[in-house]
Amino acid sequence: MKSTRWRIAAAVVLLAAIVTAALGGFRFAPKTSAKSEELGKRVTTNALAVQPLRVWLDTNHPVGLATPTPPVDYLVLEAEVENLTRQSNNYFLASDLVWLTSQDDQKGKRADATYRVDDTTLLGNLQPKLPVRVRLSWKLPHGAVLPSPLRFGLYARRYVEKTYLTGESTWLQDGPGATLKLPVEDRRNRSVP
């Protein structure tokens, strides 16, 4: 009884591998090179459009909330973003726009928080075709020294009509989409945000 089950399981695995190979599942994906962009230029990644507006270092909270004790510094990227898909979502921006902390960093560091500029709340869903100004922020040790310009990475997205696991349509992360080299303004010596 046990050997029959193992044979059936092995046959199913072999059949799945053959079907995957026949459909091209084991081919190498073409490598895409990221475009390099600057401040003020609108960048699209199929699912998102991002226009970086300014980057700064500050001891004040990005949207004016109380500053924690002990003090920290904030790296803030303000951008206008637009959801180019047909459905509202809130996960693309948080996972797709990252700070590349070093020249060798290929993965990036996700923002600690993303706020809407208009009402200073945490970013909820991005509605389709509705541009929103946001501030992404990263907490840094007080007195941190950063080079200028800084590099930020923006992942591309690819629409898939039917995923292998769930059979649902979705937008998948599709490798590097753009590298943003943005100048950083140091506002830490100012008393007013």
Give residue 62's pLDDT. 86
Asked if 115 and 137 touch (Cβ cutoff 8 Å), the reply is: yes
Phi, psi angles (nearest 5°) of residue 88: -70, 150
Under 8 Å CB-to-CB from 55, ≥6 apart: which residues?
Answer: 39, 75, 76, 77, 78, 150, 182, 183, 184, 185
Both structure tokens of 89: 């979502």
Give residue 34's pLDDT. 53
Give residue 152's pLDDT. 93
pTM: 0.75
Give residue 89's pLDDT. 81
Give residue 37's pLDDT. 59
Give residue 3's pLDDT. 78
Q: Which domains does the chain have, with CATH numbers?
A: 34-186 (2.60.40.1240)
Give residue 151's pLDDT. 92
Q: What is the pLDDT along the chain (193 residues), one digit of tens a residue?
A: 567 888 888 888 888 778 777 776 665 544 444 555 577 889 998 899 999 999 999 998 888 887 777 889 999 999 999 999 998 887 678 788 888 887 777 678 889 999 999 988 888 888 999 999 999 999 999 999 998 899 999 999 999 998 888 888 888 888 888 889 999 999 987 755 4
SS (H, E, C) 162-176: CCCCCCCCEEEEEEE
